[in-house]
Structure 1
Amino acid sequence: MKTPNWILQRAGQTPDRIAISWEDKQWTFREVAERAMDIARKMRGTGLQEGDRVALLTAGGPDTVFLIHGGLLAGFELVMLNSRLTQDELAYQIEDSGAKAVFADDALLERVPDSTAVSHLLSGEGMDFEPVKLWEEDRTLTIMYTSGTTGFPKGVRQTAGNHLSSAVASALNMGLQEGDVWLCAMPLFHISGFSILCRSLIYGMTVRLQTKFDAEASAREIAEGSVTTMSAVSAQLVRVLDILEARNERASGRFRQILAGGGPVPSPYIRRAEALGIRILQTYGMTETSSQTATLAAEDALRKTGSSGKPLFFNRIRIDGAEKPGDEGEILISGPHVTPGYVGRFSDKPAQVDGWLHTGDIGRLDEEGFLFVLDRRSDLIISGGENIYPAEIEQVLVGHPAVAEAGVAGVEDERWGQVPAAFIVGREDVTAEELETFCRERLARYKVPKHFRFVAELPRNASNKLLRRELRTKFDLQE
């Protein structure tokens, strides 16, 4: 199967429609394609060939968009490097992926000593060539490394077919409207950000780009209605809600929804958002699934609060070992959006077993087929033989008016093996005794945190996901 080269196809179909908006500047799809083609020629002018693996290390913004599209037009497999990684972490991913070249923003060159500066690339000579007009659906477009919550990060292959099926399934679930503008505050090297660029090309939709998340600007644009959809994680969502509430503002009637990923959204956040006229669509996805696998449809948002919804149109989900609705177990995923495999040291590891991806996440399906993600299997706390899910405790804690953010991790305990410890970012002064009482009224006794720590911020990765393993380390250091 083949699919049209999205960049060329979109520039031909709607050349004058706005593709990218950033600060006070904007570019049409024709202009984006022209800039990308110029970069593609210069990339090929360095001696690189179609099919080569090339790594990108950039800070974000429109120049990153042009560079990504340029690499795709040049026919490369793009290794998307996380700009927040250390030099050693980047070196591992570059070596593991087998990248033949690294193009880095000038400000990031010291992270990868052997890289080529983007400014040097742009000043070089180009080579004329004809970009492929049809992509094979099994062609690898991108390689993204997992966040490495356990062991070495894995380089995940994402094909044209993976990205295409993800984008189409998302549209079938959320719908498309004329004039849609997607606010992208997620890193473009991450699947959450890159998938928005894919949707832009496939849908013919404008992306309102932020170089990095700006809560003030996001709240303003939601209130003004200059954007219609936003992708966010809980930590970003709560900052936007705080600003809107402080300004006594609501979302514009033109604003449609926030697609929330990166873990369960606490129900207090959802209630606050609803009061401001914002629909929160919880999603579930991962690097291996090229973004969403399940999303809670708007008509079910109130009825199924806390759920990540049903599998999108092409996808299937089952719970390993479940005999009836409600049984908990590992979430397994099947569908055309699932990666065909890994690169480097994990290239021999099958991504799927009998057609199913084993996610390492714990969840359940209710009697109507709605998915509830309970937690990462690696974050599960086993205390005295009881299973405790940190996300459940976090949801309770952020329901306290004095708590802005909460993270929970299991720490060693001589009597119980493990007990939950809570790390709190306060909104106002509150004591551990008050929070313990609050939790006792809402949680089974064994789930109540045995330790409380107050911190200025919680450890998160580049996509703002909470890093519970670092909470455990932080607890050990404070003991």
Structure 2
Amino acid sequence: MSGAKWRSIPEMALSAGDRFGDAEAVVDGALRLTFRELADRIRVAAGAYREQLGVRKGDRVALWAPNSAEWIVAAFGLLAAGGVLVPVNTRFKDTEAHDIVRRSGAKALLVQGGFLDREFTGPRGVPVVDLTSGFLTSGAPLADAARDLGEDDLADIIFTSGTTGRPKGVMTTHGQTLRLYDEWCHLAGLRQGDRYLMVNPYFHIFGYKAGLVASLLRGATMLPVPVFDTARVLDLVERERVTVLPGPPTLYHSLLQAPPGRDLSSLRVAVTGSADIPVELVRRITTELPFRYLMTGYGLTEAGTVTASRPGDPYEAVATTVGRPCQGFDVRIADDGEVLVRGYAVMRGYLDDPAATAEAIDCDGWLHTGDLGELDEDGRLRIGGRKKDMFIVGGFNAYPAEIEGFLLEHPAVAQAAVIGVPDERLGQVGRAFVVACEAVSADELIAWSRERMAGFKVPRSVEFRDALPLGATGKVLKDQLAQDQEPQLP
């Protein structure tokens, strides 16, 4: 990890004030901050953490709030004070959030009351501070901000989504993040002066690290969006001349369905990645929207961005794979098809959970991702879905991501999700949940599927929805779809 330009994330963030000066750093409604002004606010916030909360090196503070300028100042101010950041998913209920705050050992909890028409409470004994209370501007600028931090010090504990069990706290250092997301900037083509619209939530690595950290590394203007709304995003793209718009596949579905006449010509870079991004969506992003470059990639909280496409990659490779490993990563496929990852950016472990850490990272240092995939002859990774999502139809393995990709080739299908449901004869069969953009019947989709897929892959039933249930990061919540599904009789 040696040879890095900065020893810590806050040292890098504060240096942006000198590197980019009066260039615009943050645009959040009427608030506009230059990089120099942002650095000043971070130092003042660091002073507030020290003076009012007694935060010292290694102390943990949880941040449970939506994307905003205040989130940026709060997070980097905490890091500058030597603290460890614990972001909390804004969609979590109080009980879920309190569990994370307690287990992280957070010294305090910062919230934004009123977001999504709710109040955010803390567990007993943990001070709760509202971001809009004036706390962030109440300190004296911290003279020794980030001075004692090194690249091997713990920077953050980011909890997994909890969709596969109780959330686990992923521990990552300053040096790991700085090295990996400097490369991410290069691969994504992020450059000084870019205007980066941030719909990815900051409590997730896509929003925090591939968003805020990357923008401070390169000098891109950050435009936080607290809740995704297509009309608001379109307005911001036009008014602010947004150039970079990463997001989950659902973001690009929304743009493709936007009414005509909107000026999106400033858009240059799209970045997406998912175990279930369909080939057809990649084609439409690159041919029907003005983006001049699309980066696809694969990552997870436990390791950050692991693979990515490269500028100049052929269209077919971008459309069918998530690219090659980033520098410093090794990727291989286990005998059962699971993707294994090894490299400098793999987490230091799960917080206070050595058993789960040992289960995830084997004795040779390979992280077992839980994703299924294969490597092509050029070393590019193709993701086939989650091990847990696979269902078995009469002895044959069926992978939802593959079936969804086929369904999305139908012109009437805007979004699709497939799960396995019990079947008396075959054990399990597929059920498709579809958001349609034009009239189509279930029988038509099933018949269409039979012409394109092996019989065991064809969904036996189709349920139409106005929308699919999505988590805050844009992933379809298949556990919700699976609830209360009745067995399909032969």
Q: Same fold (TM over 0.5)?
A: yes
The correspondence for 2:31, drawn from 25, 35, 41, is 25
AA paired with 2:181? A
- Cα separation, partners in 2 of 1:123 and 1:382, compared to 1, 3 Å: closer
Q: 2:306 matched to 1:293?
A: yes
Q: 2:58 matched to 1:51?
A: yes
AA paired with 2:286? E
| Partners of 1:387 and 1:65 in 2: CA distance | 44
- Cα separation, partners in 2 of 1:28 and 1:417, compared to 1, 3 Å: same
Q: 2:290 matched to 1:281?
A: no
Which residue of 1 is the match for residue 442 of structure 2? 432
| Partners of 2:434 and 2:189 in 1: CA distance | 38
Deviations 1:385-436 (A, max 9, x none): 2111101111122222222211101111121111111111222332110110
| Partners of 2:434 and 2:283 in 1: CA distance | 21
Partner SS, residue 303 of structure 1 = helix
AA paired with 2:257? D
Deviations 1:264-303 (A, max 9, x none): 321222222222233432211011123x211122422512
| Partners of 1:48 and 1:187 in 2: CA distance | 25
| Partners of 1:178 and 1:39 in 2: CA distance | 26
Which residue of 2 is the match for residue 271 of structure 1? 283
| Partners of 2:261 and 2:454 in 1: CA distance | 37
Residue identity over aligned pairs, in percent, reads 34
Partner SS, residue 157 of structure 1 = strand
- 1:135-284 counterparts in 2 under 5 A? 135-195=149-209, 196-219=211-234, 226-243=241-258, 246-247=259-260, 251-252=264-265, 254-276=266-288, 277-278=290-291, 279-284=293-298
- TM-aligned CA deviation for residue 222 of structure 1: 5.1
CA contact (8 A) 1:394 1:407 kept: yes
Unaligned runs of 5+ in 2: none
AA paired with 2:183? A
Partner SS, residue 257 of structure 2 = helix
Deviations 1:293-330 (A, max 9, x none): 11122422512122101112232211113xxxxxx711
AA paired with 2:251? Q
CA contact (8 A) 1:169 1:314 kept: no
- Cα separation, partners in 2 of 1:315 and 1:443, compared to 1, 3 Å: same
Which residue of 2 is the match for residue 101 of structure 1? 108
| Partners of 1:123 and 1:223 in 2: CA distance | 31
CA contact (8 A) 2:112 2:120 kept: no
Q: 2:27 matched to 1:15?
A: no
Deviates more, 1:167-176 or 1:112-121: 112-121
What is the TM-score with the length of structure 1 in the denominator? 0.91
| Partners of 2:20 and 2:160 in 1: CA distance | 35
| Partners of 1:60 and 1:208 in 2: CA distance | 9
| Partners of 1:330 and 1:81 in 2: CA distance | 29
AA paired with 1:83? T
CA contact (8 A) 1:265 1:306 kept: no
- TM-aligned CA deviation for residue 469 of structure 1: 2.0
The correspondence for 1:74, drawn from 81, 106, 112, is 81
- TM-aligned CA deviation for residue 477 of structure 1: 10
AA paired with 2:456? Y
- TM-aligned CA deviation for residue 156 of structure 1: 0.5
Q: 2:67 matched to 1:60?
A: yes
CA contact (8 A) 1:331 1:361 kept: yes
| Partners of 2:193 and 2:136 in 1: CA distance | 36
AA paired with 1:352? I
| Partners of 2:274 and 2:82 in 1: CA distance | 31
CA contact (8 A) 1:263 1:465 kept: no
- TM-aligned CA deviation for residue 126 of structure 1: 3.3
Which residue of 2 is the match for residue 340 of structure 1? 348
Which residue of 2 is the match for residue 352 of structure 1? 361
RMSD of aligned alpha carbons = 2.4
The correspondence for 1:382, drawn from 374, 384, 392, is 392
What is the TM-score with the length of structure 2 in the denominator? 0.89
| Partners of 1:122 and 1:224 in 2: CA distance | 31
| Partners of 1:356 and 1:69 in 2: CA distance | 31
| Partners of 1:415 and 1:40 in 2: CA distance | 63
Deviations 1:70-107 (A, max 9, x none): 11111111110011101111121112211121122233
- TM-aligned CA deviation for residue 250 of structure 1: 7.2
Which residue of 1 is the match for residue 128 of structure 2? 116
Partner SS, residue 349 of structure 1 = helix
- TM-aligned CA deviation for residue 437 of structure 1: 1.1
CA contact (8 A) 1:173 1:312 kept: no
